[in-house]
Amino acid sequence: MPKSVDLAHPELLSASAARAAIASGQLTSERLVRACLERIDAREGEVKAWVNLDRNAALARAKALDRSSDTGPLHGIPIAFKDIIDTATLPTTYGSPIYAEHRPVADAACVSLTRRAGAVMMGKTVTTEFAVRHPNKTRNPHNLAHTPGGSSSGSAAAVGDHMVPLAFGTQTAGSIIRPAAYCGTVGYKPTIGQFSYVGVKLLSRSLDTLGAMARSVDDLVLLRSALMATPAHLPERTRAPRIGFYRTPWWDRVEPSSQALLNDVAAQLGKAGADVVEVDIGPALAPLSEANVAIMAYEGCRSLAFELEFQAEKISQVLRDIMLPAQQMLYGEYAQALNVAASAREAVQATLLDFDVLLVPSAPGEAPLGLTNTGNPLFNKAWTTVGNPCITLPAGRGPAGLPLGIQLVGNLYADEALLASARWVETHLQ
């Protein structure tokens, strides 16, 4: 643990720094949980990140862990779960009035695995309706008049406002990377299928990816250790990464402040020793945004078949406008979208043969003003649709003073290599 860590305010610690402080005896899990609860008490009335908070159970769990000799990778660390993740001890509403009183009979796999690794479940964070587009109540902690992004809005805001150091989210278009960038956190969308989706409300089997928001790359290493039985520490890189700077087919949609940030970061990393080369993947990625929409709608209206048939009046007009027309979509259109994704995946993988990561925008810019939409996922849809792992790192501020992020894209199934490159970048950004 770095000597500069301030233990007077443990709620400000990253999960990895808190874990080290607990292991060394400088901090207890109970003190950390109480600090997080005090932060929630001070800020939740404005930020509105939580659906349910399991205060008493969290404190009891923390006290028990402080008496325990177990040393799991998340020992004593508070963690939050997006409210499409099933929990047996708390309601799971999926962001919908249809499930306002729903109590699952079992925990999702990620809940059980993180608990086995020593985590303390703090509660459930706000999601948009069925993790799609209709906004919920959460506000951006950096400016309450701005969106926190979605659909993992509560998780991003809770980590960004120091209410909890680690929180789960999911991504079907841009629901981890975009809100993480908007709220100034590290966001991680693994290779699709890396984390078990058992016990998570499924919308699109071809796109849905379980991931997390954190305060550092090392936090994500601990999380992967808990979920994937991987080492709890990354090996040190023996060389600086080779980075492909990819402006994407939508560069003209990037706000000037983000364009300048990405250009500056590319130059800064080059000066730090990285081999930064501009790349062009060609036309294969251009149709991915439309393909993502088609796949999500076709699979989504089937995943929500019960709700659309029997509870349609409780579904927002926004969601009905997406899902009801999709019921008439022919399989051929859906299959064509899958083929577009497959072709793009091959093009991305061919490019990444020469690079450790690609450097791309996390979002068009800082979080938009207003709470009626969650921002544009354009710069996330491509990577979700091809399945590659991605990390967003906070890297600057926009003209309104809100966070800006940069996104790193790694090779399929090479998540540890992506994390290693991201930690190198994170260190040199600091």
What the block records as the tokens of 381 is 């849809």
Query: Is 16 noted as a catalytic residue in this protein?
Result: no
What the block records as the tokens of 256 is 């000037």
Phi-psi region for residue 330, left (φ > 0), alpha (ψ -120 to 50) or beta? beta
From first to last of its 430 residues, the chain has per-residue pLDDT tens of 444 567 999 999 999 999 999 999 999 999 999 999 999 999 999 999 999 999 999 999 999 999 998 889 999 999 999 999 999 999 999 999 999 999 999 999 999 999 999 999 999 999 999 999 999 999 999 999 999 999 999 999 999 999 999 999 999 999 999 999 999 999 999 999 999 999 999 999 999 999 999 999 999 999 999 999 999 999 888 899 999 999 999 999 999 999 999 999 999 999 999 999 999 999 999 999 999 999 999 999 999 999 999 999 999 999 999 999 999 999 999 999 999 999 999 999 999 999 999 999 999 999 999 999 999 999 999 999 999 999 999 999 999 999 999 999 999 999 999 999 999 999 999 7
Query: Is 175 noted as a catalytic residue in this protein?
Result: yes
* Radius of gyration for the chain, computed over Cα atoms and rounded to the nearest angstrom: 20
Enclosing H/E stretch for 299: helix 288-303
Pairwise CA distance, residues 155 & 302, whole Å: 27
Query: Active site residue: 14, 29, 152, 175, which one?
Result: 175
pLDDT at position 237, please? 85
Torsion of CA 278, 283, 288, 289, to 10 degrees: 80
User: If we measure between CA atoms, which residue out of 428, 379, 420 comes closest to residue 181?
Assistant: 379
Reported residue count of the chain is 430
DSSP annotation of 229 reads -
pLDDT at position 5, please? 65
Query: Active site residue: 14, 151, 216, 257, which one?
Result: 151
Give CA separation, 246 vs 364, 407, 427, in Å.
14, 10, 21
What the block records as the tokens of 420 is 């290693």
- Give the pairing of strands 390-397 and 357-361: unpaired
Domains, the chain, ordered by start: 15-228 (3.90.1300.10), 242-283+353-429 (3.40.190)
Backbone angles phi, psi at 390, to 5 degrees: -140, 150
Query: Active site residue: 82, 124, 189, 201, which one?
Result: 82
